[in-house]
Amino acid sequence: MKTNPACRIVLLPLLIGLATLAISLQASTQVSPALTELCRAAVSTDQTIAQNAIRSLRERGPEGLQALLTTHAATIQQHTASPTVVFLARGKPDESWLRLRAALDGVSQQRDCFASQLYWFTNFEQAKAVAKAQNKPILSLRLLGKLDEEFSCANSRLFRTTLYANTEVARYLREHFVLHWKSVRPVPRVTIDFGDGRKLERTITGNSIHYVLAPDGEVVDALPGLYGAKAFLRGLQRAEEITQQSAVKSSEERRTLLAAYHRNRVAALSAELEQDLQTVSFNPTALARVSITPAVMTMNPPTATTAARLADGKGRVERPILDRTTPQPPGSQRDGSAAIDDATWQKIAALHTEDAALDRGAKALIQAKGPNALEASRAALSKSFVEDPLLRKMRAMERSISEDTVRNEYQFHRQIHEWLAGNQSQPVDQLNARVYAELFLTPDSDPWLGLLPADAYAALENDGLSMTLNR
């Protein structure tokens, strides 16, 4: 008997909810009375009491987060099993759930913590101290905006939804890494008011990158942009292995080992790309290798539209607004640094679709965030339509993630390997500045992040600019 796809999507949260509860209960023993009291206070209706409790739990590190997850496991399971009912009970937000969600996000410093159960350090020195004590590498995320806010940059939101909510990825991160994030700069945000009560709110531009660091903070590797969950795991496992190997070496031996690792990865990625190009019958007359041409950051920084096209996943969200709101100078055109056309990238991505498959955890979180979720669930249960629109959206998301994965791995990651093969000891902030300037095309030197093309005339007073300095 065939099952309606829309019905299947409604049942997914129940399955992942039960798994989430089991993980929470297995990961912890009894919570002490003192911690239990703090966990209850963290969801108090008194904001002062709640914030003080959240702060105290945060100071206890991962132990505080685990205590909060265990104490409120039944509520988390109830929401995860039926998010549309809990979050939209009687047509209104469930205030008790919103308080618990805020507590979890505050303690973990990650939005949607109920789905990932991950604890993130925001103090780099603390992260290094814990990494040294536990002999673990650090996974340091750099992003626009803040990871604990709904409106961080588009890629970091996709990380939260498709990677951190992935059951296998979340488990691997908890067990093998000390997690840290740092905001590169605030993320631009736009609200389009349609004048009739409807508003559309989005972030504009901004990319993100995960750095794998040794416990002392030295850069080992980096995963730029969005990856499919399976490809992301492979990258983490590879980087963790070389980190552990290098940990027992002398300083000079370590540099030699890491340089050889990066050279080998450049060669391997070049061979893999060549094989994929042959598979999709791509045979350009003048292509020795795909190259990344660093952008020229002088009088003409790259536009936000150009930067948005570097990542398909976030670009699908940003480009419709950018194309309509960002004036382009006459004759402007897409950056031509890559020798492979979009159609060929899509064919290559189709060879690796399994790497981008969304698991039940990711699908459950996507459904919980979906618009009109309660109405969609009712329609699905009554079989009043053939296919949930959310399923189509998920399939499109998997395709775009697959394309992002191959572009990021074959272009950006290979370039980073080349940089690190020559100078892998550079500080992470120095490397990050170069990544954002030359790969992500959002250099520090451009305060407007490509949203103000120098040669475009907007026919507005002062080009429509205003500035309020935060004091």
Q: What is the DSSP string of 218-243?
A: -EEEEEES---HHHHHHHHHHHHHHH
Cα gap 283→278, rounded to integer Å: 7
Amino acid type, 61: G
- For the chain, the structural domain boundaries read 1-108, 116-447
**pLDDT of the residue at 450:** 77
Residue pair 82/18 in contact (Cβ under 8 Å)? The answer is: no
Residue pair 412/224 in contact (Cβ under 8 Å)? The answer is: yes
**pLDDT of the residue at 6:** 44
For 409, the token pair is 């791995």
For 19, the token pair is 């798994």
pLDDT bin (cut points 50, 70, 90) of residue 373 is: very low
Mean pLDDT along residues 272-292: 74
**pLDDT higher at 332 or 288:** 288
**pLDDT of the residue at 326:** 43
Q: pLDDT for 153-184, tens place per residue?
A: 999 999 999 999 999 999 999 999 999 999 99
Q: Which residues are CB-contacts of 216 (< 8 A; sequence separation ≥ 6)?
A: 128, 132
Mean pLDDT along residues 266-293: 78
* Residue closest to 292 by CA, chosen among 404, 440, 153, 431: 440
Amino acid type, 448: W
| Greatest alpha-carbon span in the chain | 71
* pLDDT > 70? residue 433: yes
pLDDT bin (cut points 50, 70, 90) of residue 324 is: very low
**pLDDT of the residue at 425:** 75
**pLDDT of the residue at 237:** 98
**pLDDT of the residue at 201:** 85
DSSP per position, 119-141: --B--HHHHHHHHHHHT--EEEE
**pLDDT of the residue at 168:** 98
**pLDDT of the residue at 5:** 45
For 296, the token pair is 């020229």
pTM of the model: 0.82
Question: What is the pLDDT of the chain when averaged over all its residues?
Answer: 81
Cα gap 460→98, rounded to integer Å: 42
Phi-psi region at 44: left, alpha or beta (left = phi > 0; alpha = psi -120 to 50): beta
Q: pLDDT for 334-362, tens place per residue?
A: 333 357 889 999 999 999 999 999 999 99
Residue pair 403/347 in contact (Cβ under 8 Å)? The answer is: no
